Chain A
């Protein structure tokens, strides 16, 4: 049974700092790995999706990597801004989509 873990559970950084969010999964037989952002009381916004055959995807200040052999994915945020404050969730895509519990990020101005 797939399990998805996200570390850390919460993170507070000063504005401008580069940061890395971690996601690990137990079953490497995944179709893809998707990163989402969720603002308080809101739905989920898709940030990046990495197909199983890919190693990374980039969008603006965001870069996500995927290493299936080690069961890990990372989301790198460059030059963080207060507007990046949100909860970030990763989800493994396979027969069933399994979500991690999320990392709550706070970027201080």
Chain B
């Protein structure tokens, strides 16, 4: 299996622009997680889905952030409008439903200027 795939790997954008991050989970996995990692706050869970349904989005920092999972093989995390403080590495991870290992993608490094 190719593992969790994220795109783009790097994104540089100007403040106020819309940013869309994409994730393809491992085939057969039915839980998907979006994380954000910064030096100040470490790794934070933003939202996770079970069977394409959002279960907990309490980690989403503001209404500017939204996530969707239209099918079992694709998810997006959108920031609109973006701000410099959104600069971070965003990771997507997937697992089998329940209490199993999470497998991480390589991350998207977002820089908002």
Q: A-side interface residues toward B, CB under 8 Å?
A: 31-32, 34, 36, 42-46, 49, 51-52, 89, 91, 93, 95-102
Contact = CB atoms under 8 A, between A and B. Distances in A.
Counting contact residues on chain B (CB < 8 A from A), the size range is 20 to 34
A42 B107 CA distance: 8
A31 B45 CA distance: 16
Interface of B: 33, 42-45, 48, 56, 58-59, 91, 93, 98-107
Contact of B102 (A42, A46, A51, A101): A46
A34 to B, nearest CB: 6
Contacts of B103: 46
A31 B102 CA distance: 13
Nearest to B100: A49
A92 to B, nearest CB: 11
B101 A34 contact: yes
Contact of B106 (A43, A100, A102): A43
B107 A43 contact: yes
B97 to A, nearest CB: 12
Chain A CB within 10 Å, residue with most, of B43, B103, B104: B43
Given A32-B99, A43-B106, A93-B99, 17 more contacts: A31-B98, A34-B101, A36-B104, A43-B104, A44-B43, A44-B91, A44-B93, A46-B103, A49-B100, A89-B43, A93-B102, A96-B56, A97-B33, A98-B45, A99-B45, A100-B42, A102-B42
A49 B47 CA distance: 21
A34 B102 contact: yes
Nearest to A32: B99
Given A96-B45, A99-B43, A43 B99 contact: no
Chain A binding surface SS class = strand
B45 A101 contact: no
A31 B99 contact: yes
Contact of B42 (A45, A52, A96, A101): A101
A97 B58 CA distance: 12
25 contacts: A31-B98, A32-B100, A34-B101, A36-B104, A43-B91, A43-B107, A44-B43, A44-B91, A44-B104, A45-B104, A46-B101, A46-B102, A46-B103, A46-B104, A49-B100, A51-B99, A89-B43, A91-B102, A96-B58, A96-B59, A97-B45, A97-B102, A99-B42, A99-B45, A101-B42
